[in-house]
Amino acid sequence: MKGWALVTGASSGIGRQIAIDLAKEGYASILLARRESQLIDLKKEILDKYGINSLVVPLDLASEDSVEKIVSFIKLNDIFLSILINNAGFGDHASFEDADIKKLTSMIDLNCTKLVELTHAMIPLMLKNSYIMNVASLAGFMPGPLMSVYYATKAFVISFSQALHTELLPLNISSSALCPGPVHTEFGKVASTGEIAAFNSISAQNVEEVSVLALKQMFKRKQIILTHPTHSFVVFLLRLAPRNVVGPIVYKAQGKRLAKKGK
């Protein structure tokens, strides 16, 4: 075994696939998510296919004492991490004035605050020559009317990840922001939209493809990880275009999706 990884949001989607692909590379994972039955199924699949024994932590990361519980679990099992994957998060698709404010503040807490708290708590428990990968999104490169808070949380994750990468250089711990476009996962069910409408022109990727590319770039210590050749061009255009132009374009695209949802 090469080492230990902590993967949040491991019960489905990108987190689940990353745990599988890390097992292929010889890493055992601490699988963290709310749904225990899905984590147990994943643990069995990884053990059967790769002979790697994962640890299951059924825990709601949004709970008040979640980080303390994770720290205690890791110390109790005498583990030092080689990899931290901050994948847990969710979105919502609605106009800001009509959105549930409790859901929005919970989104900020999980997508940003808990990510920061967990990362801060895990760094002392990480080996040198380790890796942190925070799951952001292409959405983080633009303003996102009708998903304004979600887009803003992903912009935070990108900025935080890049700053952290520089700070952690003396420890030889890299920090990467994974910025996929649309991916075939359960995200749309939680966000109340089949996909991020502003990305309709970008083909959705399979989660297997995203995971393989993400880990390959993470191990190369890339600060920003884009998972499709077209995404570099999209980001380049977004950086050139005035944000007061991008905002209305995103608003129009998201509005069409919201109108379809309301029918």
In terms of Cβ atoms closer than 10 Å to its own Cβ (0-12, 13-18, 19+), residue 170 is exposed
Name the band, by pLDDT with cuts 50, 70 and 90, for residue 263: very low
Rounded-to-integer distance, Cα 62 and Cα 59, Å: 9
Least confident of 3-12, 58-67, 81-90, 226-235: 226-235
- Tell me how many domains the chain contains: 1
Active-site residue list: 150, 154
Give the mean pLDDT of 30-45: 98
For residue 221, the model assigns a pLDDT of 98
Instruction: Give 6's DSSP letter.
Output: E
Provide the pLDDT confidence category of residue 198 given band limits of 50, 70 and 90. very low
The CATH number of the domain holding residue 140 is 3.40.50.720
Judge whether residue 262 has pLDDT over 70: no
Q: pTM, whole model, 2 decimals?
A: 0.88
pLDDT at 59 over 50: yes
pLDDT surpassing 60 at residue 14? yes
Which helix (H) or strand (E) is 41 found in, with range? helix 36-50
* Spatial separation of the C-alpha atoms in residues 31 and 118, rounded to whole Å: 14
Phi and psi based region of residue 129 (left: phi greater than 0; alpha: psi -120 to 50; beta: remaining): left
Higher pLDDT, 33 or 92: 33
Question: What's the mean pLDDT in 158-170?
Answer: 98
Residue 204 has pLDDT above 90, yes or no: no
| pLDDT for 190 | 46
Closest CA to 3 of 70, 56, 82: 82
**What is the arithmetic mean of pLDDT over 41-70?**
97
Can you give the residue range of the structural domain that contains 90?
A: 3-262
Q: Which residue has the higher pLDDT, 252 or 209?
A: 209
pLDDT of amino acid 259: 58
Identity (one letter) of the amino acid at 125? L
